[in-house]
Amino acid sequence: MGKVSRFRIRRTPARPQPNLTPMGLPRPIRLNKKEFSLEEIYTNKNYQSPTTRRTFETIFEEPRERNGTLIFTSSRKLRRAVEFRDSSLPRSRRPSRGVRAAAGRTLTSNLAPSPDVGTLLQQRLEELDALFLKEEEVD
């Protein structure tokens, strides 16, 4: 005949205490206030400034209508970044894939630029100069 364990087996598992963290430490007591005074906000030692990758709720430019009511925001949070570039700087354009592949090859005789291109380019530049002079006179 086998030995009988002295440890009593519970029929229901022990309930975890709600005020303990997973490590077994007591949880901090939080205030159940909706509004805080300025003094409480500024003297709060647990304050952390929001990170740069923080998500904000989406605000619609044109309100959506749902069940006859206008909805201005969405609970779905999206990350967004707006970069304002200096308009005086020229835009950097990415080279197309075909141009990059052709850059390594040498130009064959039929792909070489013809001498008419230089005169055509000169003519276009003169037209642009004339257009800019007209715009400056109007302003």
Q: Tell me what pLDDT residue 127 has.
A: 92
* Mean pLDDT, 10 residues at a time, the chain of 139 residues: 76 79 85 82 76 65 80 70 76 72 61 72 90 84
Reported pTM? 0.20
How far is 85 from 83, CA to CA, in rounded Å?
A: 6
Q: Tell me what pLDDT residue 68 has.
A: 85
What is the DSSP track for 75-131? EEEE--------TTSPPPPPPPHHHHHHHTSPPPTTTSPPTHHHHHHHHHHHHHHHH
Task: Provide the token pair at 71.
Answer: 């909805």
- What is the dihedral angle through the alpha carbons of 100, 104, 107, 111, rounded to the nearest 10 degrees? -20
Q: Tell me what pLDDT residue 86 has.
A: 77
